[in-house]
Amino acid sequence: MPAKRDQDFFWEAVDRSELTAQQCSDCEKRRHPPAPACPHCGSQHFTISRLSGSGTIHSWIISCHPTLPDPNPKTVILVDLAEGLRFISNLIDAENIRIGAPVTVEFGEVNGRRLPLFRTVKNP
Amino acid sequence: MTGQAAITGIGQTEFTKASGRTVLSQCVEASTKAIRDAGLEPADIDGIITYTFDTNDEIAVQRSLRIPELRWTSRTPFGGELSYATFQLAAAAVASGAANHVLIYRAFNERSEARFGQPNANAQAADLEQREFYRGFGLNTPAQVYGLWYRPYLDRYGVTSADLGAYVVQARDYAATNPLAWFHNRPLTLEEHQASRWIVEPVLRKLDCCMETDGGIAFIVSFLSHARASTRPVVRILAAEQLWLHGSEVMYNYYQPDLTAQASTERLAANLWRASGLSPAEIDVMTIYENFSPIVPMSLEAYGFCKPGEGRELINSGGIGRGGVIPVNTNGGLLGEAYIHGLNNVTEAVRQLRGSAANQVAGARTALVTGRHCAMLLARE
Ligand SMILES: [Zn+2]
């Protein structure tokens, strides 16, 4: 059996359509990206915490192939999650892109892999 | 530990887009030239350092150079992020007596083989942890990764694409009169910059991105008393520093509360000024590791040449150009001369202090060589 990676919990949760993060058992702060110890207090004890999936767009760019025609450019977003974490993802409804726009997580398949994506919400 | 070392030799290959030869052969050519430039023999070299991303095996280099006894080797983590930390470690090695003369090299076929600018081709960086949180979402090239990081800064201070273009035009102006530069005799207008296509919309046009280059560069760092025996002007390493604040990430630096601040670089600069006893007003020429144009105004601010948000004005007013208050990347930089993972900006600093640069700053005695997480101060004795 291959060694378990620090981030495996995240992708296992994605398969269940859940967005999660490690939460420190000592200082109770959450962290992302995953790490073996709490960057706030150093504790190596943690639980897995389910996140609300709500947030706002902090910044964004368009990602397309640098040299080849790319019919499917991605709108890459940096999301401020409600729980105080930052997360990189894609905006599904790219036409509504706006810094500060409220978004919510929506799971989808991209290139055969299930990913947590985001969509803007009208009335947060 | 600093102040006891000098850069005594520089060497390089031709800069091309398709070298047609092995990386090792270019590494050996540049290294041989650096040893000769320092007035040394291969037997004088007893230390070697490069980046972890470099593919040239130290012992293979030793074999071709005929270095009889190698007493010290090291590598700095990653690629460009700690490029100039190779000088910090080499300086420490010669100051401590661990080595007398350290060879620094970096060579690659970055254009004709593993292009950093192509998705999924950056195999050397593939061992960075947790890229799965980025790659699947479209952060596949340095332009995309850094473009997202630059944007909050550009938005906050109202830095426009034309402001960035002003730097690019300046870099190409310097390159146009530098015979070593890829863009020698090929200056650029702002209109041409503004017409260049988006690589990362709405941040980076093609001409905001450093070029991709095949080639190699090498240096010799020597204990100061050995350097003084040389016939060349002595280029002393006054201070060399690296710095990572807790919470920084390599490339994917998205997790600090204020992404428009440059806390690591500002702390690094403070340490450098303290270690050297110098201040920005005393610097004659500066180089910036400008893998992309936005880092130029950001660096002018972080290293104290102007206040936050004023970098664009300093560039637009000609402050970094010929005769400006702080000439920057007088070789044309990584956008105009070549991209040898940042090291061609060090050869330019050494040429300026030797008085042999193509775009010579008259009487240059101090040079500041900067990256985001590493930097050094050089001075002519
Ligand atoms: Zn904790």
> Domain count of chain B?
2
Are A2 and A29 contained in the same domain?
yes
Q: Is B109 left (phi over 0), alpha (psi -120 to 50) or beta?
A: beta
Does A75 or B225 have the greater pLDDT score?
A75
3-state secondary structure of B226: helix
A37 and A73 part of one domain:
no
- The answer to whether residues B174 and B83 belong to one domain is no
Interface test with A, best of B148, B196, B209, B245 (most A CBs within 10 A): B148
Rounded distance between C-alpha atoms, residue B47 and residue B45, angstroms = 6
Per the CB < 8 Å rule, is B148 touching A60? yes
Question: Given this model, what pLDDT does residue B250 score?
Answer: 87
Domain extent at residue B268 = 143-210+234-381
Other residues' Cβ atoms within 10 Å of the Cβ of residue A64? 19
- Please say which residue of B232, B266, B300 terminates a domain: B232
**pLDDT tops 90 at residue A98:** yes
Residues B157 and B303 occupy one common structural domain: yes
Q: Do B138 and A74 touch (CB under 8 A)?
A: yes
The pLDDT value given to residue B123: 44
Instruction: Tally the domains of chain A.
Output: 2
Domain finish residue from B176, B197, B232:
B232
Looking at the structure, do residues A2 and A44 belong to the same domain, yes or no?
yes
- What is the residue-wise DSSP string for B109-171? ETTTSS-TTSTT--GGGTTSTTGGGTGGGT--SHHHHHHHHHHHHHHHHT--HHHHHHHHHHH
Cα–Cα distance between B326 and B128 in angstroms, integer? 36
B103 alpha carbon – ligand 1 mean position (Å):
44
**Are B217 and B278 found together in one domain?**
no
Q: Which two tokens stand for residue B301?
A: 């601010």
Whole-number pLDDT of residue B128: 47
Residues B223 and B254 in one domain: no
Query: What pLDDT is recorded for position B120?
Result: 65
Partners of residue B199 in chain A, C-beta under 8 Å: 66
pLDDT in the model for residue A3: 87
| CA B200/CA B180 separation, integer angstroms | 29
Whether residue A16 is found in the same domain as residue A32: yes
Amino acid identity, position B172: R
Helices then strands (H, E): number in chain A?
A: 1, 8
Which residues of chain A lie closer than 8 angstroms to B147, CB-CB? 61
Same domain, yes or no: A45 and A90: no
Omega before residue B280 within 30° of 0, cis? no
Q: Could you tell me which residues come within 8 angstroms of residue B104 by beta carbon, excluding any fewer than 6 positions away?
A: B48, B49, B50, B86, B87, B90, B218, B219, B220, B221, B343
B172 shares its domain with B73: no
| Residues A72 and A88 grouped into a single domain | yes
**Together in a domain, B254 and B380:** yes
B55, B27 contact by CB (below 8 A): no
Task: Assess whether B198 and B221 both reside in one domain.
Answer: no
pLDDT at B118: 87
Gap from CA of A82 to ligand 1 centroid (Å):
19
List B residues 100-119 in contact with A (Cβ-Cβ < 8 A): 117-119
Say if residue A61 is in the same domain as residue A12.
Answer: no
Cross-chain Cβ contact A115/B133 below 8 Å:
no
Alpha carbons B211 and B291: distance in angstroms, whole number: 8
pTM score, whole prediction: 0.96
Residue B365 lies in a domain: yes
Say yes or no: B66 and B188 in one domain. no
Are A90 and B148 an interchain contact pair (Cβ–Cβ within 8 Å)? no
What pLDDT is stored for residue B46 in this prediction?
A: 98
Q: Are residues A22 and A68 in the same domain?
A: no
Q: Is the pLDDT of residue A123 over 80?
A: no
Neighbours of ion ligand 1 (CB under 5 A): A 24, 26-27, 38, 40-41, 43
Same domain, residue pair B245 and B220: no
What's the CATH number where A93 sits?
2.40.50.140
In a domain, B369, yes or no: yes
Residue B296 within any structural domain of the chain: yes
Strand-by-strand arrangement of the A54-63 sheet: A86-90, A74-81, A54-63, A102-110, A113-120
Q: Residue type at B224?
A: L
Q: Are residues A80 and A100 in the same domain?
A: yes
In a shared domain, residues B162 and B81: no
Residue B133 lies in a domain: no
CA gyration radius, chain B? 19
Do B95 and B13 lie in a common domain?
yes
pLDDT recorded at residue B2: 63
pLDDT in tens, chain B (381 residues): 468 999 999 999 999 999 999 999 999 999 999 999 999 999 999 999 999 999 999 999 999 999 999 999 999 998 988 999 999 999 999 999 999 999 999 999 999 998 888 886 554 444 445 788 998 899 999 999 999 999 999 999 999 999 999 999 999 999 999 999 999 999 999 999 999 999 999 999 999 999 999 999 999 999 998 888 778 899 999 999 999 999 988 889 999 999 999 999 999 999 999 999 999 999 999 999 999 999 999 999 999 999 999 999 999 999 999 999 999 999 999 999 999 999 999 999 999 999 999 999 999 999 999 999 999 999 999
Q: Are residues A16 and A2 in the same domain?
A: yes
How far is B292 from chain A, CA to nearest CA, in Å?
15
Same domain, yes or no, for B152 and B274?
Answer: yes
CATH of the domain at B74: 3.40.47.10
- DSSP-derived pairing of the beta strands A46-50 and A20-24: antiparallel
Q: Chain B within 8 Å of A114 (Cβ-Cβ)?
A: no
Q: What is the C-alpha radius of gyration for chain A, rounded to an integer number of angstroms?
A: 16
Q: What is the dihedral of CA B316, B319, B322, B328, to 10 degrees?
A: -100
User: From residue B339, how far is each of B28, B46, B55, B344, B363 by CA, in Å?
Assistant: 18, 28, 16, 7, 27
Tell me: do A15 and A57 sit in the same domain: no
- Judge contact between B73 and B48, C-beta under 8 A: yes
Same domain as A59, residue A34: no
Domain of residue A103: give its range: 53-124
pLDDT of residue B129: 52
Partner B contacted by A58 (CB < 8 A): yes
